[in-house]
Structure 1
């Protein structure tokens, strides 16, 4: 050091840090700082200069009207680091979502169902990009719907499948009963998939009711397809499952497709359920369940997001730091 000039020779990675220059007049002092980053000659240390981040808290469930706040923490990486937030595919920020000036904190005021979903923190610097994801769950009273919506008619002796779909957090329990009767519905088979109850009725006329849904006259109807869940976040090496429920025509042929590519080689389909084990980066994308019948076609979609790590206690949260390999220079 000579006068006001600081000279650092033969720098090593250990010399990285924040250096402070202090000017003192005796009664008043002022400071200025500068951050020095020393990169190693070998490529592995070079890569470690890309951001390493996490989100706090790792997940959150709130009641409607409550507030939620997430903080994206940058643990390491060469400065400056640019921090931004985005939502999952097909989702967008609602009007009650605010992001702090430096991008690290996202706040949801008076949360509602539209705020529910995956929130991604993305940090970037000159060496690479890192991202982490957290899920916000907005709890509330369940909603229920029946497919086909009815009323529809069918000839005696024919068969029909009816789907009662309940939505809400925590997941609601849905079940079928026959309106005006305490007896169980005859000739029925109940298939439970998450918050769905599919009632297969064989040649039995009457009126059925699912939860608090409107009554549906047993009969055929327009072809309808429903995929659950609509979106899923999994870690590399994990397993993803999507269930496809089809109503309206028992003769419908069901097939699974992937938009813009082929289904992963590890996939299997059984009873309309698409299962993808040993997830790789290439499995990420939009999956389509398509039903085809003489009367036409119907389809529904679901989005799969593959993250670098998966939280051990949940199926759709990746709170751990995710360093990514930077692009080649």
Structure 2
């Protein structure tokens, strides 16, 4: 407040009072003060009938400012600093349903004008501000928005704050009420091809929010794995990675598990036993085609570079090639091709028939 404003205020006040009986005077008539200082004025009754009721007014009957204080008997008016006062609308506790919008309005007064902030867990929040109001808005509340919010106003004269509790309700009860975990997986069974990357997703609900981890039944997790946000990723899987994987969700109220069965398919890996053989005419030829891979596996024998197999050649069980009595012209290279739903591979066997 500068000196000209003070003089205008109280000269007008003096004229208003003196226009009526009894007669009063105001001391001092005017005052100049520095920013942050205070000043007092006394209204003294000079003459007139008793009793006298004293009343202070501003020019044009404007209300007195917040930093203006009147003494107990009404004779002394003091203009000075004022510590903050805070009011929050709506007052807590505030109950809202999951997904609904929320707006908390904090109004603060004081001299000098206080700064206003909204806080939660000691962190200052982003708000919409006007001259003496700060509004905290949430477009659609979630269970994580439940808790205690603090509006704080501060100036050179002090600090004031008001707390308001927000309770988020949804479903059959409060969304933030204690609740044991419930784990679910995106797929109960996963089939992958050897060498590919596999991802398994686990989601968990509960309050407080559960901690999610992955494990493998009766074996450690493959060394080429990562777990991020409930997603287990296995890189370049092999048949040894097949098995049951367990999603574990845990909080202070219990635990929950969900399971995914992984099957890793692989193409056949084929060998011939033996891969070289020497026979005499009339001997029996028996070649075994061995294959490791995902079943079922089928076998097919051919002779390399020839139109067809020798007369009397037959493929018997489990990929065996049988020729009952070999001849000289049965010499050559024989090929076994093993095939499954993933792929195929081949193995060669060299057969020599000499008299």
Name the TM-score, length of structure 1 as normaliser: 0.39
Structure with the bigger RCO (C-alpha within 8 Å, sep 6+) is 1
Bigger proportion of residues as helix = 2
Bigger proportion of residues as strand = 2
Indicate the structure (1 or 2) with the bigger Cα radius of gyration.
2
Name the TM-score, length of structure 2 as normaliser: 0.37
